[in-house]
Amino acid sequence: MEPIITTDSLTMKFRGCEALRGVDLQIEPGTVFALLGENGAGKTTLIRILTGFQQPTSGACRVGGIDPTKDPGGVRRQIGYVSDSPALYDWMTVDQIGGFTASFYDPSFRTAFNEMMTRFDIPMNQKIRNLSKGQRAKVALSLAIAHDPELLILDEPTSGLDPKVRRNFLESMIDRAASGRTVFLSSHQISEVERVADTIAILHEGKIVLVGALSELRAAFTRLTIDVDDPLRALPVLPEPARVISEESAGSGHQCIVRDCNSDMIANLRQSPGVIDVSSHAATLEEIFVACTSSEFVETPHVFQPDEVRQ
């Protein structure tokens, strides 16, 4: 099956800042894809390029078979998109904005939008400027999904939503993917992403440092806690293909996030001179995220470099 989104060496340079540095991605249809990154990592810039609001400095991309740099209107008609700060016409009522947006789509849009407003308990005659932050978020989201797009792109979709609506919303994203549609969302909310996404990419300083199926990433990363007899003792080297992503030490205790470490390696580690105890747990997505975005991950030459991590 054709990927619904592809990017090829996308770069974006602003004055004095390289927001994207050679981003390569392929996103399969029918997935919930989550783009994780710290503040300023380049998430919004990537989304703005994919939705045709920003021309990249170099590189190429396709969204649903369309090049957003050449046909931004075509992409935007085909997808649903909610930005991190949705611009809604404040002077319109909810009913008017529904009617206005419906004019770009087929008649089913209006019915679906009205149903969502009823479900969210938002009065149709209320002016947009008088809605609460959460109500605005619900209107923006409903406008983006009422035409039932094959691809939904959401920049920080749950900010402003209360926990109950947030939960329902995230569950509805899983349902969308189950029916073959694709959801691309950017988020800081790692625990939420963990619940809904099946594919994860971590963007760090404009580069994709990790991408893969969440289930595979969970299986591949281990947190090792190693106690040694002497704080000055060097840790035993793990054999290939294991790779230490990050390491923290406090006295004679060490915490490492390791990729591709198996039970034989851990058993050998326990037998190594000076090693008193080793415990291992599957790393959480948050631990993987912190390890992959830590300064050592990028800068220390003996751990694997971002380019090597890319799958």
Of 7 and 101, nearer to ligand ATP (C-beta) is 7
Distance in Å, CB of 166 to ligand ATP, minimum: 18
Q: How many CA atoms lie within 13 A of 107 on its CB side?
A: 0
Of 45 and 246, nearer to ligand ATP (C-beta) is 45
Which residue's entry shows tokens 């899983």?
Answer: 174
Of 25 and 269, nearer to ligand ATP (C-beta) is 25
Q: Applying CB under 6 A, which residues contact ligand ATP? A: 14, 17, 19, 37, 39-45
Distance in Å, CB of 122 to ligand ATP, minimum: 26
Q: Which of 3, 149, 181, 180 is nearest to 76 (CA)?
A: 149
Distance in Å, CB of 291 to ligand ATP, minimum: 19
Distance in Å, CB of 207 to ligand ATP, minimum: 12
Distance in Å, CB of 190 to ligand ATP, minimum: 13
Of 45 and 114, nearer to ligand ATP (C-beta) is 45
